[in-house]
């Protein structure tokens, strides 16, 4: 009888120990998937029966210090969301560097060998006015994560509309414009094959402390499937950046990129948003149309922010003339031509900007 009780006691203790071990395993497994409140919601898109993929990390120039554990354990803060993924600001523990992490939902990502080829292509793109891809992580359940540098001074949309006066200084307007143009030139002409951005807008232009411009998200549409790419295009249209001839994202072109760039130039010049949510009877919904009507109505004061002339006085002299401002305006409007064939190419844009800057 005593032996029977001892056996039951030992079996009970063993069962309890196994239960504790099992609970600890589940706890640490869940902890790995939930990082400081950042649950990989994207991996829930994996359907039952789908095969798990190999976990992998590819690093590019500038991202050699990245590791899988450092990426997954980094404390993160959500700074943006879209239908196809989530954007985080994260602090890498090993290097103590802030990075921008973009999770792509597996259900929205393109599949096959072409995806890997695009990643390797984007990882090789380097230019002083382009946000580089530092690394790419692929998780076992289809998670995909792009790693970029983090720019502390925000994006161009915030800069234009924060009202601090710096956005009205001609030196900043010109520097940002020529920086975007040079970055776009590298995408269109500096590679073996042109890379179409496909989603140029002021929120995708990041700034450093000296107001130098860095184009982000170039080629991102190439990593998405057709449905997600179309949703990106529809969002661009709703924000006022889509070229009128562009119906499907797969048809995005150098000319449609130029149109979106022209809208940004008009934003910089006028301080207005691309879409007027509450137009008066005399105003138009879209910024390029508003500007055309302003010219036809001889409302020259409407085409640029008055602070541009006021903020550019030095020793009693203006650092920019109305002639230069009007040349800048004409360039912006030519980029926004309804006809793609009438828009300048990016090299012509740079020539004209350099002439304005003389």
pLDDT of the residue at 39:
45
Residues of the chain with pLDDT under 50: 1-3, 6-11, 27-49, 315-316
pLDDT in tens, 93-133: 888 899 999 999 887 888 877 899 999 999 999 999 999 99
Cα separation of 212 and 172, whole Å?
A: 8
Residue 24 has a pLDDT of 53
Could you read off the pLDDT of 17-68 as tens digits, one per residue? 555 555 555 544 444 443 443 444 344 444 444 555 678 999 999 999 999 9
Please report the domains of the chain, with CATH numbers, ordered by start residue. Answer: 50-149 (3.30.200.20), 156-356 (1.10.510.10)
HSE (CB half, 13 Å, CA atoms) of 5? Answer: 2
Helix/strand number for the chain, H first, E second? 11, 12
pLDDT value of residue 317: 52
The DSSP output letter for 77 is: E
For residues 346 and 349, what is the distance between their CA atoms, to the nearest angstrom? 5
Note the pTM of the prediction, 2 decimals: 0.83
Residue 217, phi then psi, degrees to nearest 5: 65, 15
pLDDT at 49: 44
Residues 6+ apart with CB under 8 A from 333: 262, 266, 288, 291, 292
pLDDT at 106: 82
pLDDT of residue 247: 92
């Amino acid at each position: 009888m005593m032996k029977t009780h001892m056996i039951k006691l030992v079996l009970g203790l063993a069962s309890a120990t196994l239960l504790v071990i099992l609970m600890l395993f589940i706890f640490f497994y869940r902890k790995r998937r939930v990082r400081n409140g950042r649950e990989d919601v994207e991996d829930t898109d994996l359907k039952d029966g789908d095969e798990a993929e190999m976990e992998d990390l590819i690093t590019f120039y500038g991202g050699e210090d990245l590791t899988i554990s450092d990426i997954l354990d980094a404390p993160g803060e959500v700074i943006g969301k879209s239908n196809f993924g989530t954007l985080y600001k994260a602090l890498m523990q090993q290097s103590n560097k802030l990075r921008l992490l973009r999770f792509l939902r597996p259900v929205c990502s393109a599949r096959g060998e072409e995806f890997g080829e695009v990643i390797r292509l984007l990882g090789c793109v380097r230019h002083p006015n382009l946000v580089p891809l530092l690394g790419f992580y692929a998780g076992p359940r289809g998670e995909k994560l792009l790693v970029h540098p983090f720019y502390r001074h925000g994006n161009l949309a915030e800069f234009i509309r924060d009202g601090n006066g710096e956005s009205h200084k001609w030196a900043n307007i010109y520097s940002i414009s020529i920086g975007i143009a040079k970055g776009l030139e590298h995408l269109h002409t500096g590679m073996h094959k042109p890379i179409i951005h496909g989603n140029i807008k002021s929120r995708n232009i990041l700034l450093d402390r000296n107001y130098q411009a860095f184009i982000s998200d170039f080629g991102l549409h190439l990593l998405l499937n057709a449905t997600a790419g179309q949703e990106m295009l529809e969002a661009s249209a709703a924000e006022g950046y889509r070229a009128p001839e562009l119906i499907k994202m797969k048809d995005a072109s150098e000319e449609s990129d130029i149109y979106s760039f022209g809208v940004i130039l008009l934003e910089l010049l006028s301080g207005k948003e691309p879409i007027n949510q509450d137009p008066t009877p005399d105003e138009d919904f879209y910024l390029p149309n508003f500007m055309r009507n302003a010219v036809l109505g001889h409302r020259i004061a409407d085409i640029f922010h008055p602070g541009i002339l006021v903020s550019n006085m030095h020793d009693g002299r203006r650092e920019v003339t109305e002639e230069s401002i009007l040349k800048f305006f004409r360039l912006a409007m030519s980029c926004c031509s309804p006809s793609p064939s009438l828009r300048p190419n990016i090299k012509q844009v740079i020539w004209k900007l350099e002439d304005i800057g003389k």
